[in-house]
Amino acid sequence: MRKSASDLRYDGVLSVRRRVREGRAAMLIDRYPPVNLFALVPKLAAEFEPELLLLDRLLDDDGIIGRVRADLARRSPRTRTHGRPSTPVEVILRLLVVKRLYGWSYAEVEHFVGDSLTLRQFCRLYLEPVPDDTTLLRWAQLLGPETLVALNERVVELARSLRVTRGRKLRVDSTVVETTIHHPTDSRLLGDGVRVLSRLLRRAKAVVTSEAGLPKDSFQSHTRSVRRLAQRIHRVARRRGEQAAEELQAAYQQLVDISTQTRVQAGRVCRVLREQADAPAERLAAQFEHVLPLMEQAIAQATRRVLNGEVVPAKEKIVSLFEPHTQIITRHKPGKPVEFGRKLWIDEVDGGIVSGYRVLEEAGQDYPYLAESLERHQERFGKPPWLVAGDRGVSSPGNERLAEQAGVTRVALPYSGRASPAWREREREPWFRRGQRFRAGIEGRIRVLKRDYGLGRCPDHGLAGMERWVGWGIVTHNLHSIARTVSQRPQPADAVA
């Protein structure tokens, strides 16, 4: 007699409890016992759609699961052997892929996967409860950026083995992944700093002992004064004339003075917290020590730019206290001449596979990064590409020589600047034009990555969060591209029968 869903789940719970009593249960497990949900509902189709079916097979790769498992084991020193059974590694991996595949939040993943038999079967959840969105978020943050790079390398190997790509052609380009910040102004930066430090001072007041001997005004909040000054600055900034400029200078001077006073208070309290040496005091002191240098930089920046009239180079500017890794990137694009985020370098090979990516440390020219792309391509495919294509930002005489020395047959890099007649004649040759048409495809690839896989704006915090966000987007894109390409191939006659 066929068991009901509740009976199957009860049997699974008894099995887990029995293994816990016998000492054979581990906290970090790989898989749930398989259950065919389609068999429980006879009228439901017994297969996934073709792309999801191929994606399901790709995620069965032990190399991918092993890399994810290694990072999840870092949650605790005894995660592998002790504790109650957790959500299996393959379930976490598939839930995170589904999240990026459909562009859902963690809460939406919990809701929609729990509500769909198809997604339950795909994620190998079967009749088990879906992990809470906060639990899934904590698991996701254990995966390091370097693990996502290794995952993508493994996915590229799968693409080669399935003949999705041969690595004969390589096109490179850069784009910007924006951070989630408001438009930066000096008044907002100082206002954010005073607000954050005042909040920490309020928390520290309950932790600092009475024997510390701090003055009474050490915990005073200036948030309301800063808010009023910021509103005043915004009103005055709309006006023109010498009187408005003088009023703006005076308002900024008051704002800088209040910000400096708040910084001094916070520094004094931070030293006292370090002397207490208990756990709550150390946690608060660590938060103060993170914010105080950023606040000092914001004060110095406002003083130089507004009060002294200096031109501060973009490399020396801070544009956000909450995402301090954000850079000012001038793109000269219509409607968006300047973007705030980090520059992303992309290597794409034939077959629509992003074979490599890097979040760049500096937002400068593109041509210095071609050498590393060629070197890594040689490592991945065991041979240089037959064709290398890029835009004028990648072009340089050094890159031309470098590509030829690496064994590249066709180098389609348009000349940057005033080209000689011989070079213009070269750019009119059919092979060069075909190479530039191939290069144009990476613009569409970047658009797809931003529109469908979340690379337009990063909601995660910190540089590691951005690298993790970019990595999941590219890994999911590559898996989906492989599944789509293989599913569109003609099936053998015996498979159709």
Residue pLDDT, tens place only, 115-172: 988 899 899 998 899 999 999 999 999 999 999 999 999 999 999 999 999 999 999 9
Number of Cα atoms under 13 Å in the Cβ half of residue 160: 15
Please report, as a single letter, which amino acid is at residue 210.
S
Rounded to whole angstroms, the maximal C-alpha distance in the chain is 90
Interatomic CA distance for residues 465 and 423, integer angstroms? 44
Question: Kind and range of the H or E element at 337?
Answer: strand 336-349
Number of Cα atoms under 13 Å in the Cβ half of residue 99: 20
Q: Give the other-Cβ count within 10 Å of 438's Cβ.
A: 18
Give the residue carrying structure tokens 């690496």: 406
- Listed as ranges, residues in the chain with pLDDT below 50 are 1-2, 5, 8-10, 13, 20, 495-497
Instruction: Count the helix, strand and coil residues of the chain and give each as a percent rounded to the nearest 5.
Output: 60, 10, 30
Tell me the three state secondary structure of residue 126: coil
Q: Classify domain 151-181+324-487 at the CATH superfamily level.
A: Ribonuclease H-like superfamily/Ribonuclease H (3.30.420.10)
Work out the angle at residue 290's Cα, subtended by the Cα atoms of residues 289 and 294, and round it to the nearest 5 degrees: 110
* The model's pTM: 0.86
- What pLDDT, on a 0 to 100 scale, did the predictor assign at position 337? 85
Sign of CA dihedral 188, 190, 194, 197: positive
Q: Give the other-Cβ count within 10 Å of 442's Cβ.
A: 22
Structure tokens at 84: 């109650």
